[in-house]
Structure 1
Amino acid sequence: MHFTKGEGAVELSELTACEDVVMFVNAAVAATGQREFHTEAEQQRLSLQFLHDYVRVNYREIYASTLALDINDLNAATIALHLLRSAQDVPLEQRRLEGRLIAARLAKLPPQRVYRVFAALRAEGINNRRTRAIVRDWVAARPDVAFDAVKYRRGLTTAAGHAHLRLPAEVGTVLFDWRRPKRYATPILESWRRAHYDKDALFDLPYTVAEGLASTRRPDLDRAQFLRAIAPRLTELERLRLQRSGGEAVGGALERQPLTRLALYALSLPRPERARRREELTDALRAAARRAAGRRAGTWEPVVAVLDDSYSSSGSAVKRRRPLAVALAAHYLLEALSPRYRGLWLNHTGDPLLVHPAGATPLGERLLDALEQRPDRVIVVSDGWDNAPPGQAAEVLRVWRQRLDPAGRTSVVHLNPVFDGEAFDVRRLSPFVPSVGVRDAEDIAALVELARFATGAVSFAELSGYLRDRVEGFLR
């Protein structure tokens, strides 16, 4: 793969090109188009739309290659859709590579997200040979298309009609003429048919399907009874979401949960309940952190983290406590990565499990505490709204980098879980340290590596080489 700027684009310096690409990657990792503490949803969506269009036009090869990075599902789906709708003048070899990247990324996305991409393709009338092949291959690779016919019925119907898919006979029938057969040989299809009139058949269906049918067909069904009966059909995520409302019936959901999701769950509990379940929750978080660290566990040199628990870490109504959850998950991950780790919260002291969003954001003060220890790495997890006093963190980092540690013996990286729609980027602490977006704490190790491209000291060719290596590894 060879990266070039789009034909007809204004010639930019390598530094500006790197800044453009890193800005887009930050957005693709952190931005979800939802309201944040300081930014409205509409501003986020407009900024994201502009960034997608700008990078796709000026750096199309790099735009496609970001599918191989740890970007969030919204932006991965958006990139796939934009590439499929704008391939008319793309050389054949590049189109083939884009097709492989799109197919590989769609295979990693949640099915409901992929079906929404297919619905958008149909709505826009995009139905070329490459698009049909991607839809066909993705559906063919589904582990149980009959399951999809029940759980994602509308999405599969749309995809099948748009791409002219050949489906198993009973699956096609249940999508387009489900009332005709008196019985289906496929168990899940037969259960779905019977569930329209037989209460017992509900509990052989996926939870979301059974819940929908129960609300329309069996409004008199007791909720607690329903949860107890459907418990064996719950996914791990469904168990986690329902654990508080379902009690013992849907318990045992903490094992095998991803780290950041587990941190979100822990923070959703009242502090007295967290204190009561301290051992259970802490053990689950540390086990998830060890899984996320993998072979890197215990290999990092001394690390000090500055973790933001200010009031703005409470997030927004649609992203409750998300910034704080990323900071809490980062604490446990860094603890697993470095045998000599210390975490410094802005306001909280004591057990990290009991942290809650409160107070101002004295980042400068905590940075002084962290840098005084002369660790190998300082990692800041914060939305970057330094306000106690404003600008102190930037001044601390300037003096540290220019006068006290010009050789860079201590590396400082700022990980920001919040996209600033007005700035088209994550909010930065200082021009002397890199700031990169973070969605899930599990990606921290890769993001720390990516951060070096945000310093302005790395060439566009090096950035291209890094992305090329990531693409090759992703496709393997």
Structure 2
Amino acid sequence: MTRDETGADLIAAEDVLLFVNAAITATGQREFHSGADEQGLSLDFLHQYLLGNYRDLYAATLALDVNDHNAVLIARNLLVTASEATPAQRRGEGRLIARRLDLLPPQRVYGLFRDLRRARVNNRRTRAIIRDWMAARPDPAFDAVKYRSAVKDAVRHAHLAPGGELGPFLFAWGRPAAYTTPILETWRRAHYEKAALYDLPYTVAEGFAARHGVPRGAFLERIAPRLTRLERLRLQESAREHGAEAVRADLTTMPLTRLASYVLALPLEDRERRRAELTEALRAAARRTAGEQAGRWGTVAAVLDDSFSAYGSGQKRRRPLAVALACHFLMEALAADYTPLWLSGRADALTVRPYGPTPLGERILDGLELAPDRLVIVSDGWDNAPPGLAGEVLRIWRTRLDPARACDVVHLNPVYDAADFDVRRLAPTVPTAGIRDAENLVALVELAQFAEGRTGLPELRAHLARRVADFLREGPVTEVVTPPTREAS
């Protein structure tokens, strides 16, 4: 700590890092050790605390790798409390919100707009954000068909006037006998013509197929050309059961963590039978994610948690294990020399499953004995075989055996601990960062240095400022302009 830093600065830095860990990992859903209600209450407290005490830093976290659930909550809270912000804060927040909405899935954004309508948040900035986001949509007619009720709510809330045939499509009681816009006309014909439904988005066509009594296998076979990349991945096994071979995903183009989840959902026999295909797909995704960092991490050892708690919950099934598996393949691509250490002792990553206790201490000892440049631990932190051994090993290693920090040790935790308002830590001497997707591993290892106590609020503010500047430069987002009016923003 420098002379200029105060205790308040360090507390502020710790508070921000606490929130970032939660915003990366927590989704308000049930985890292995806590229920959905407990998760939701804990997360809501953190949002309100950071918003009330560090509004600028709270808004800046939109530029970090927070998950979609928390990005929506941050945007909502900033808009709900617009009257508490200064004009300069509102301008900066508007740019961050607009940029983040560009990156969110459309259904998340429409869900946010509906939530703002229910909360009766209808200030100028909110209407301008809705207006500009909807104006930038590449195909408004497609959105009107796929998200019809949500689009209607957003249009009403922002007082917009849809152009062309969208107005009659969304609001007219007596619709035209025919539309000139192709997708609107297809939607109209799909009510009475089976063939028309196969030109609609999958989620819309599925309802029409059920309405017309189309067999599932036949429907999936014919709708296959309309499926998105992730829809293909999600439906692939179901389609195979129904004999729809046309629904086949190109696994080599899939996101790494999503692909790891898909692999773990397969029975062990299928993983064995498709070993070459699945391994190559995972390695291709890892190489793509590593990019120019591939091979630059030196010697790396990884302690990977495949204990029973890695199952997660019914809502987040096998999610912690999927993150560990994806991190395994990514670190294999990042390292010049890599050694994986699964808690179970398995050497075959493709057949891992959540089973057994959590002997973190023993596996960390095994990793440190290899004298790597970097030791990465991917675990929920519930060390129980025996309890506390991992923390003691790391304490002695850092304070007595390696005080010069020749080996960088970092703990990445994919599970939010609602009781502690943070991800569970192994030792005060080892930085811990929350992780949701392995794709963020490199950035999180960098962020973890701020949790180690060697840097304070000024460095953290500088880091956030750089991330915000890069975040806003990456997309064609202009400042949200609101029309001059007497209405308070």
Q: Smaller-chain TM-score range? A: over 0.9
Residue number in structure 2 paired with 1:241:
234
1:210–1:348 Cα change, 3 Å:
farther
Q: Deviations over 1:29-78 (max 9, x none)?
A: 00000000001110000000000000000000000000000000000000
The aligned amino acid for 2:397 is W
2:310 paired with 1:317:
no
Residue number in structure 1 paired with 2:224:
231
Question: Among residues 282, 301, 304, which one is paired with 1:304 in the alignment?
Answer: 301
Q: Deviations over 1:92-114 (max 9, x none)?
A: 11110000000000100000000
Instruction: Give the secondary structure class of the aligned counterpart of 2:341.
Output: strand
Question: Among residues 147, 151, 154, which one is paired with 1:152 in the alignment?
Answer: 147
2:419 paired with 1:422:
yes
Q: Deviation at 1:249?
A: 2.5
Q: Deviation at 1:253?
A: 3.7
The aligned amino acid for 1:313 is A
The aligned amino acid for 2:231 is E
Question: Equivalents in 2 of 1:457, 1:190: separation in Å?
Answer: 62
Residue number in structure 2 paired with 1:5:
none
Q: Deviations over 1:416-457 (max 9, x none)?
A: 000000110000001010111000001000000000111112
Residue number in structure 2 paired with 1:64:
59
Residue number in structure 2 paired with 1:195:
190
Question: Equivalents in 2 of 1:316, 1:405: separation in Å?
Answer: 38
2:120 paired with 1:125:
yes
2:175 paired with 1:176:
no
Question: Equivalents in 2 of 1:348, 1:168: separation in Å?
Answer: 62
Q: Deviation at 1:405?
A: 0.1
| Aligned 8 A contact 1:139 1:145 in 2 | yes
Instruction: Give the secondary structure class of the aligned counterpart of 1:422.
Output: helix
Q: Deviation at 1:13?
A: 2.0
Q: Deviations over 1:156-211 (max 9, x none)?
A: 11110110123222112111127521111111110001101111101000000000
2:245 paired with 1:254:
no
Question: Equivalents in 2 of 1:412, 1:84: separation in Å?
Answer: 39
Question: Among residues 76, 80, 87, which one is paired with 1:81 in the alignment?
Answer: 76
Tell me the TM-score normalised to structure 2 length: 0.94
The aligned amino acid for 1:238 is E
1:367-386 correspondence runs (5 A):
367-386=364-383
1:430-469 correspondence runs (5 A):
430-469=427-466
The aligned amino acid for 1:160 is V
Question: Equivalents in 2 of 1:433, 1:350: separation in Å?
Answer: 26
The aligned amino acid for 1:472 is A
Q: Deviations over 1:195-242 (max 9, x none)?
A: 011111010000000001222x21x21110000010000001110111
Residue number in structure 2 paired with 1:3:
none
Q: Deviations over 1:7-34 (max 9, x none)?
A: xxxx962221111110000000000000
The aligned amino acid for 1:41 is A
> Percent identity at matched positions?
62
Question: Equivalents in 1 of 2:352, 2:140: separation in Å?
Answer: 44
Instruction: Give the secondary structure class of the aligned counterpart of 1:436.
Output: strand
| Aligned 8 A contact 1:25 1:66 in 2 | yes
Tell me the TM-score normalised to structure 1 length: 0.96
Question: Among residues 275, 286, 297, which one is paired with 1:278 in the alignment?
Answer: 275
| Aligned 8 A contact 1:290 1:333 in 2 | yes
| Aligned 8 A contact 2:252 2:280 in 1 | no
Question: Equivalents in 2 of 1:206, 1:251: separation in Å?
Answer: 17
Unaligned runs of 5+ in 1: 1-10
| Aligned 8 A contact 2:298 2:335 in 1 | yes
1:178–1:105 Cα change, 3 Å:
farther
Task: After superposing the two structures, state which structure 1 stretch, 249-258 or 450-459, moved more.
Answer: 249-258
Question: Among residues 389, 402, 406, which one is paired with 1:405 in the alignment?
Answer: 402
Q: Deviation at 1:255?
A: 3.1
Task: After superposing the two structures, state which structure 1 stretch, 261-270 or 298-307, moved more.
Answer: 298-307
The aligned amino acid for 1:314 is Y
Runs of 4+ deviating beyond 4 Å: none
Number of corresponding residues: 464
Question: Equivalents in 2 of 1:413, 1:180: separation in Å?
Answer: 60
| Aligned 8 A contact 1:214 1:221 in 2 | yes
Q: Deviations over 1:264-297 (max 9, x none)?
A: 0000000010000000000000010111111111
Residue number in structure 1 paired with 2:262:
265
| Aligned 8 A contact 2:31 2:415 in 1 | yes
The aligned amino acid for 2:220 is L
The aligned amino acid for 1:112 is Q
| Aligned 8 A contact 1:348 1:355 in 2 | no
